Amino acid sequence: MNRLPATLTAIEREGAITLLEADALGHTVSLTLLVTSFESIWQVGQQVTLAFKDTEVSLAKSLSGRISLRNRFPVTVESIDHGKVLTRVKLHLAGHPLFAVITTRAAHHLDLQAGDRIEALIKANEMAILE
């Protein structure tokens, strides 16, 4: 499980859906959460830990243009552990380790190498706050 320290910067609610924005290591992160309670759980300025699964991280090389994924992190590939079906990629975001698990075919298609500067992509609804 990936974890990032963050500070909440914006909160927007509509019904049971809450859209949060946070600053994580100098990058704006969006989270879409289902909240069943109408009480305010989070507040702007609150320190939180964001969490997301290694398998929910997509990787992109030379990505350009607009996409719906709001969470785009510039990362550096530190190491690659190829398995027959899956590959685990260790990344660094501003000196903080992150991991992605992608198919080995995708890793070969991207021609990933240690030292590559790429982007890690995470959908807003795949981000969580650890309590």
**How far apart (Å, rounded) are the C-alpha atoms in residues 120 and 94?**
13
Q: Structural domain of residue 49, as residue ranges? A: 2-130
- Highest average pLDDT, of 9-23, 26-40, 62-76, 104-118, comes from 104-118
Which domain CATH number covers 95?
Answer: 2.40.50.100
What is the pTM for the complete model shown? 0.89
Tokens read off for 76: 């550096």
Question: Within a 10 A sphere around the Cβ of 64, how many other Cβ atoms?
Answer: 6
Name residue 14's beta-bridge partners.
17
Residues with Cβ within 8 Å of residue 35, at least 6 apart in sequence: 13, 16, 17, 18, 41
Split into its structural domains, the chain has a count of: 1
68-94 pLDDT per residue, tens? 988 999 999 999 999 999 999 999 999
